[in-house]
Amino acid sequence: MVKLADGVALVTGGGSGMGHGIAHRFARDGAKVVVVGRTKEKIDQTVAEIRAAGGTALSCVADVAKEDDVRRMVETTVSEFGRLDFAANTAGVAQIPQLLHELSLAEYEEDFAVNARGVFLCMKYQIAAMLKNGGGSIVNVTSGSAIGGLAYFSAYCAAKHAAAGLTRTAALEYATKGIRINSVAPGAIATPMLMRNDDAALNPMRNCIPMQRFGTEEEIAAATVWLCSDEASYITGQILPVEGGYTASCLTIVEPIAAPAAK
């Protein structure tokens, strides 16, 4: 297994939130990093920050829901750095909260395009590249919603469960090929997406977390990069909750966002 400091990492969704933190953590630990996202300005900013800190990084504009984009991002990584050792598939979208019977098919399929099909496409091309190296490690950043349900987020939960299933199955298929595949399942993390909610939504969420606080991008990054490291060399096919103890209690019940008004 290639050491982090000698390796090449690809991070999708690297322009903001958890992907931004993961890209920085890989670079801090010595890996060369390809930062992928749909918005050039955002991923260029992440790359500029990494380079300013003395790291090596490259930006690549791509939409993980599009096969040609995914193929190109992996080809770009290998062309630029000669190999692909680590991948963090962090890109994701969140649906507008609503009751299932009011959710349109187009909205449902849009969520699956990124959160499930995107994970499949990324792994498909990342694994092919890693097989040529003789191994590697992939972490799919899913969600606590990949473990349980979440009212008013049926499409999101279904897609995240699909990503968790893909993670476990792929891990079994490549366990003897030198490729480890796991998932980090974040709980409530203080990303810009979460913190744009008001206190009426945030306070009940925080109160139901045993640690009584939201997680940080850095904590997700630490878990993700650790799973890619040699320190996790006997771990594959696992979904690791990083959520302050939320899933430890069967009594933890919360509506993180108030029920939407009926249409």
Convert the pLDDT of each residue in 38-76 to its tens digit: 999 999 999 999 999 999 999 999 999 999 999 999 999
Number of domains in the chain: 1
β-partners of residue 182 are 139
Residue 262 lies in a domain: no
Amino acid at 74: V
Residue 167 lies in a domain: yes
Amino acid at 146: A
Pick from 88-97, 119-128, 217-226: least confident: 88-97
Residue 253 lies in a domain: no
CATH number where 59 lies? 3.40.50.720
Report yes or no: 145 and 183 within 8 Å, Cβ to Cβ. Answer: no
Residue 263 lies in a domain: no
User: Cβ contacts of residue 177 below 8 Å, gap of 6+?
Assistant: 131, 135
Look at residue 59 in the predicted model and tell me its pLDDT: 97
Residue 133 lies in a domain: yes
Which residues have a catalytic role annotated? 156
Convert the pLDDT of each residue in 7-45 to its tens digit: 999 999 999 999 999 999 999 999 999 999 999 999 999
What residues make up the domain containing 119? Answer: 4-248
User: Cβ contacts of residue 221 below 8 Å, gap of 6+?
Assistant: 18, 21, 22, 24, 25
β-partners of residue 179 are 136
Closest CA to 107 of 89, 94, 121, 118: 94
Convert the pLDDT of each residue in 125-180 to its tens digit: 999 999 999 999 999 999 888 888 888 889 999 999 999 999 999 999 999 999 99
Whether the per-residue pLDDT at 78 is higher than 90: the answer is yes
Contacts 24+ apart (CB under 8 A), 41-48: 41/15, 42/15, 42/16, 43/14, 43/15, 45/15, 46/14, 46/15, 46/20
Residue 223 lies in a domain: yes
Look at residue 192 in the predicted model and tell me its pLDDT: 76
Residue 254 lies in a domain: no
Report yes or no: 214 and 15 within 8 Å, Cβ to Cβ. Answer: no
Residue 233 lies in a domain: yes
The pTM assigned to this predicted structure is: 0.92
Look at residue 29 in the predicted model and tell me its pLDDT: 96
